Amino acid sequence: MPFGSKRDAAGRVVEFDAVYSQVLEPAITAAGLQCVRADEEHVGGIIHKPMFERLLLCDYAVADLSTANANVYYELGVRHAARPWSTVLTSAEGFRLPFDVGPLRGLRYRLDDAGRPDRTDADREALTRRLRAARSPSTDSPLYQLLDRLLPPNVSVLGAEVFRDRVHAAMRFQERLAVARSQDRAAVAEVQADLGDLHDVDSGLIVELLLAFRAVGGYADMVQLVADMPDVLTSTALVREQHAFALNRLSRSKEAEAVLTRLIEELGPNSETFGLLGRVYKDRWNAAVLAGSDLLARGLLDRAINAYVKGFEADWRDHYPGINAVELMTLRGPPDARREELLPVVRYSARRKVLSGHAEYWDHATLVEVAVLDGDAEAAFVALADALAAEPQRWQALSTLETLRRLRAASSDPDGTPAWMLELEQQLAHASQEETDTGHQ
């Protein structure tokens, strides 16, 4: 199944993480089975050796066909080619399935207007019944239904018991990584050492290791991990973006820029890729300002703004590049005229994310920054209260604090900084365990 929030061609949305946690996982557990989710799209839709093993050897498989995700359909084809039965299909009501899979028998679950499960108890029970029924050998693969003399391959030669052991080991490593990323770099490195040869490790677990190093600031470890990965993983967009992020944090911005520009040339505009490229130019702009190189700083500031704008234009739902573009437009002298056009769109994008029920710290923090740019004290405190309730990590609160300080420094208000803006900084300083400079007007 896909992960996160996805839309079909008609614009209808499915919140797949909610479908998984509220319907699929509890139904599978109720059927007496152990649930392992394969988020292959999370690593660019690649089919890695462990993924083939899962498709061929798992006792039962559930495939969510909503939104006609190409990766899911390919994986379902592999499964149907190898296993005559024990594959259960499901999809959201109201989504028209492509011709080739339309006649296949599957379960339909109901969504509300926000794309979240709307009939959880009934849909869970229906899926549990279908999984229990799948224990009886009744051919569900259209390949074996049409070619009734076709014999399935002997997948037992792949070692089903070894496969189960590997799945359990991967789940244990995931649990260890979840703990390690809340500790320090050494804890994450210890998990990596125990993983052994990365060519035999599930692709999703390798990506989780990469993101765990990011969480603890192990940027050099990230670069080395990318160098040690199987080639099939290093070619994915997610890994290349994280590689560029780490290179930039290591002050290797030219290399980071090259990775990101190549990725854009190959795969086209993307909000995440352009957002990271904007950060590369933004960091260079900061360095040029500190060095007193005014002309260079101006050119780099414009590059950063343009990269962020292109990222926001690639996906208006992603407010991260949008808020960065607007803030840098504000800091520019004179301010960029596009600022007034973009600011309401950024506000709307962030508000929609908050109203979706899946808001994180950055979504609320964006609304804090938008309110400061609007001069709206009431909206700023409401958004900050929600942001602090999200229990940000220290570095997250510090990042927002630094942004507000930059905006304050650029303000030309003859009456000085309003007291409410200083109060915002004090609250963020407390959350980031840093004293704020309230005397600067």
Domain residue spans of the chain: 5-151, 159-230
User: Residue 138, class by beta-carbon neighbours within 10 Å (0-12 exposed, 13-18 middle, 19+ buried)?
Assistant: exposed
Order the strands of the 107-109 sheet from edge to edge: 61-64, 87-92, 107-109
Decide: residue 45, CB within 10 A, 0-12 exposed, 13-18 middle, 19+ buried: middle
CA atoms within 13 A on the CB side of 140: 24
Interacting residues of 133 by C-beta distance below 8 A, sequence separation 6+: none
Torsions phi, psi of 293, nearest 5?
-90, 85
Region for 32 from its dihedrals, namely left if φ exceeds 0, alpha if ψ lies in -120 to 50, beta otherwise: left
Nearest to 427 by CA among 440, 416, 436: 436
d(CA 93, CA 6) in angstroms, rounded, equals 15
What six digits make up the tokens of 120? Answer: 């959880």
SS3 string, 138-204, reads CCCCHHHHHCCCCCCCCHHHHCHHHHHHHHHHHHHHHHHHHHHCCCCHHHHHHHHHHHCCHHHCCHH
CATH numeric code, 5-151 = 3.40.50
The pLDDT value recorded for residue 131 is 92
d(CA 213, CA 227): 14
Instruction: List the alpha helices (DSSP H) in 181-293.
Output: 185-195, 203-215, 219-228, 231-234, 237-249, 253-267, 271-290
Which helix (H) or strand (E) covers residue 331, if one does? helix 319-331
Q: Which residue's entry shows tokens 């799209």?
A: 41
Tally of CB atoms within 10 A around 9: 8
Contact 218, 25 (CB under 8 A): no
Both structure tokens of 411: 């303000």
- What are the mean pLDDT values of the chain's consecutive 10-residue runs (441 residues total)? 80 88 95 79 54 82 89 89 90 81 83 90 94 86 85 69 73 87 91 86 83 91 94 86 96 97 94 96 95 95 96 91 95 88 94 84 95 93 95 87 89 75 93 54 31
Look up residue 338 and give its two tokens. 């596009």
Task: Give me the pLDDT at residue 439, please.
Answer: 37
Q: How far apart (Å, rounded) are the C-alpha atoms in residues 320 and 189?
A: 30
The β-bridge relationship of strands 61-64 and 107-109 is unpaired
**pLDDT for the residue numbered 414:** 60
Q: CA–CA separation, 306 vs 328, rounded Å?
A: 10
| Tokens (6 digits) for 303 | 């590059």
d(CA 211, CA 207): 6
Model confidence pLDDT, tens digit, residues 16-49: 989 999 999 999 999 999 888 865 444 444 556 6
Q: Is 438 helix (H, G, I), strand (E, B) or coil?
A: coil
Predicted pLDDT at 441: 31
Place of tokens 């007034």: 340
The answer to whether 397 and 427 have CB atoms below 8 angstroms apart is: no
Two tokens at 331? 């800091």
Which helix (H) or strand (E) element contains residue 109? strand 107-109
Strands 13-15 and 5-7, bridge-based pairing: antiparallel
Token couple for 64 = 């969510």
Q: What is the 3-state secondary structure (H, E, C) of 321-360?
A: HHHHHHHHHHHCCCCCCCHHHHHHHHHHHHHHHHHCCCCC
pLDDT on residue 46: 52
